[in-house]
Amino acid sequence: MTSGPFDINPLKTSWCPGCGNFPILEMLKSTFEKLGLSPADLVVVSGIGQAGKTPHYLKCNLFNGLHGRAIPLATAVKAVNPGLTVIAEGGDGDMYGEGGNHLLHAIRRNPNITVIVHNNMVYGLTKGQASPTSSRGFKTGIQVHGVVSEPFNPLAVAIALNASFVARSFAGDREETSRVLTRAIEHRGFALVDILQPCVTFNKINTFKWFKDHIEPIDAKHDTANRIAALELALRTGKLPVGIFYIDGERPAFEETLPVYEKSDEPLFVREPDMEEVRKILEEMK
């Protein structure tokens, strides 16, 4: 365990020994410290799930909301106080299942937030049901004959919708994951980082070894500005590419398009309401 400004001591987690959430937590802390962030200027928003407990184990501002609702809350936090670094964090069920609709529309809006998804291809909190990213044939206590649905491909969907930063990494590769997280947080706009990780209790198929055997780094020559090439990578079958797929640095962030910041960059939360203007708007709406 690291010792730094984002540590909570003593730390007691509810995760199973060997869970992939542990290295992700450590990588987040080290990345925040490397970027020179302070706990006071960092907000981590999560929903429900084992991954959603991550901000409980970080010294920072946090909001733990409803299942699948981390992204709109993170968007709102960034909109009212653009000076904060805002992270929306959760599991594949939380972000791609319950929160799938919010993911799609946040990509369209392009808020300057980083969405980090712990993708273990199973529901780890609610005892092992298949998640949106579970493979066909994956058997659970609910899907006793195996999953029949097509697995959700978050990277292909994000690239198709022109998300401004799309990446995938593996919790077992700390150096590469930290590099990806650093680039994602520094990016101005919506950043999606899908982190492959094992669930040692409920997913006996997609283990640490399975991921190591089924991933391959994206070629260093890959042009991250080439959207078609990025989409082809995301649609690749067989081994899963890991690295940065796509970056569009030209899109304005959601907060930059808001009329309330046209004349002043003062954060909304410190402004006094202009009641005369409110009354004027209400009258116009009658």
Give yes or no for residue 216 having a pLDDT over 90. yes
pLDDT at 9 > cutoff 80: no
Of residues 243, 196, 241, the one with CA closest to residue 224: 243
Phi-psi region of 121 (alpha: psi -120 to 50; beta: other; left: phi over 0): left
Q: Where are the domains of the chain?
A: 21-257
pLDDT range class, residue 88, cuts 50, 70, 90: very high
Q: What percent of the chain has pLDDT over 90?
A: 86
Q: Assign 118 to helix, strand or coil.
A: strand
Q: What is the arithmetic mean of pLDDT over 214-219?
A: 97
Per residue in 148-179, pLDDT (tens digit) is 999 999 999 999 999 999 999 999 999 999 99
Q: What is the mean pLDDT of residues 198-223?
A: 96
pLDDT at 2 over 70: no
d(C-alpha 5, C-alpha 22), whole Å:
17
Confidence of residue 213 (pLDDT cuts 50, 70, 90): very high
Burial classification of residue 48, based on how many CB atoms lie within 10 Å of its CB (0-12 exposed, 13-18 middle, 19 or more buried): buried
- pLDDT category, 274, cuts 50, 70, 90? confident
Look at residue 120 in the predicted model and tell me its pLDDT.
96
The token pair at 20 is 């992939």
Q: Is the pLDDT of residue 11 over 60?
A: yes
Distance CA 114, CA 111 (A): 9
Task: State the pLDDT at residue 149.
Answer: 93
- In this prediction, residue 127 carries a pLDDT of 83
Q: Is the pLDDT of residue 1 over 70?
A: no
User: What is the CATH code for 21-257?
Assistant: 3.40.50.970
DSSP letter (8 states) at residue 256: G
What digits encode the pLDDT tens for the residues 99-149? 999 999 999 999 999 999 999 999 988 888 999 999 999 998 889 999 999
pLDDT in tens, 24-78: 999 999 999 999 999 999 999 999 999 999 999 999 999 999 999 999 999 999 9
Q: In this model, does residue 12 exceed pLDDT 90?
A: no
pLDDT at 3: 75
Mean pLDDT value across the chain: 94
d(CA 209, CA 213): 6
**For residue 238, what pLDDT is reported?**
87
Dump pLDDT digits (tens) for 136-155. Answer: 999 988 899 999 999 999 99
Q: What is the pLDDT of residues 178-197, one digit of tens each?
A: 999 999 999 999 999 999 99
Q: What is the pLDDT of residue 50?
A: 93
- Give the global pTM: 0.93
